[in-house]
Amino acid sequence: MTGSRERNFRHDETFSAHLTANSSEFAMSIADGETRMRDWIDKATAERLEKDVAAVKNDIAALTDQITDALNTFANSAGKQARRGYKQARENVDSTLDDMSERGSAMMGAAQDAYGSIEETLEDAITARPLATVGIALGIGFLIGVAWRR
């Protein structure tokens, strides 16, 4: 065993010195491994975070598109309702104007009938009593003249 021991260790080196040297290398190797593991975990975490951020950005873009579509639909619906309301109001105004025109025509017809009736009545009165009519006309003229002077 001495021969094999001499082969593996230098002459001035002892087994415990070799073990101490190798254990520090082993400890450094473990520390390097831990550092590499932390770097790998940090890298994996960063990649996961980047993927999550990209997914959130995509979700926000999709929501923006959905909101834009909803607003466009709402605007179109509001425009259609406004056009329907305008059309209905215009029809109501047209109907009201037609109704007023008919009423105006009816009133004009009634006024013409009344005028014709009054004209006939005055004509009959003047024919039946010409002197009384002249006296009434003079009296009305006198009253208008007095009122005019004041």
**pLDDT of amino acid 144:** 93
Q: What is the pLDDT of residues 113-131, one digit of tens each?
A: 888 888 888 888 888 888 8
Q: What is the pLDDT of residues 1-17, one digit of tens each?
A: 444 444 454 545 555 55
Look at 43 and 110; give whichever has higher pLDDT. Answer: 110
DSSP for 6-19? HHHS-TT--HHHHH
> Which residues have CB under 8 Å from 75's CB, separation 6+?
none
H or E element that contains 9 = none
Unique residue bearing structure tokens 């005019």 = 148
Domain ranges of the chain: 24-115, 117-149
pTM for the model? 0.39
For range 71-77, the mean pLDDT: 89
Average pLDDT value over all residues in the chain: 80
